[in-house]
Structure 1
């Protein structure tokens, strides 16, 4: 089944919240009475989640559906795959490291802008 942008965004959001809570896919599957393989498929955007399953998973994560969908201002068609990958990687590091990575990105973008100006 092809991945849709919305399924990928929901999956990334579920993964981010799960990891933030320190749960493995297996632990979340146990808490939500689902299969670990299914949790993995949801997180990769390979499966379209049903409302009933989404209710089970959000209850297991102790979050509301509203909290899960707080990203709703994002236009799924405008989300680049690399942004989703960056988000997934950044969830795994602490806030101090995220701030350091952000500074590095700013420096790299400034360097690129300066280089482009000199060439033109």
Structure 2
């Protein structure tokens, strides 16, 4: 059965990635280059449209100097 909406972790990842990328001052294009990913792919992750592979989660985390689990951790204020 195909899902018609993204899962909770995908939304958390989308929100965290956008916030962290902007905090670092990266455009989607610059961040994509840093990760080795296309800017359109980064944008689709931030919109919750992509089911990201473990390998790409690792690339994104490395570019942000984080551990991958930190990208899918719900912010403390949202619990």
Superposition TM-score, scaled by structure 1 size = 0.55
Cα distance in 2 between the residues matched to 1:33 and 1:46: 19
Cα distance in 2 between the residues matched to 1:50 and 1:43: 14
Deviation at 1:72, TM superposition (A): 7.0
Greater CA radius of gyration, 1 or 2? Answer: 1
Cα distance in 1 between the residues matched to 2:9 and 2:69: 16
Cα distance in 2 between the residues matched to 1:9 and 1:51: 15
Is the aligned partner of 1:51 residue 2:58? Answer: no
Residue pair 2:12, 2:73 contacting (<8 A) in 1 also: no
Structure 2 gap segments, 5+ residues each: none
More helix by share: 1
Tell me what 2:64 maps to: 61
| Cα gap change, 1:32 to 1:62, in 2 (>3 Å) | same
Tell me what 1:28 maps to: 31
Superposition TM-score, scaled by structure 2 size = 0.81
Q: How many pairs align? A: 75
**Which of the pair has the greater relative contact order for Cα pairs under 8 Å at 6+ separation?**
2
Deviation at 1:9, TM superposition (A): 1.5
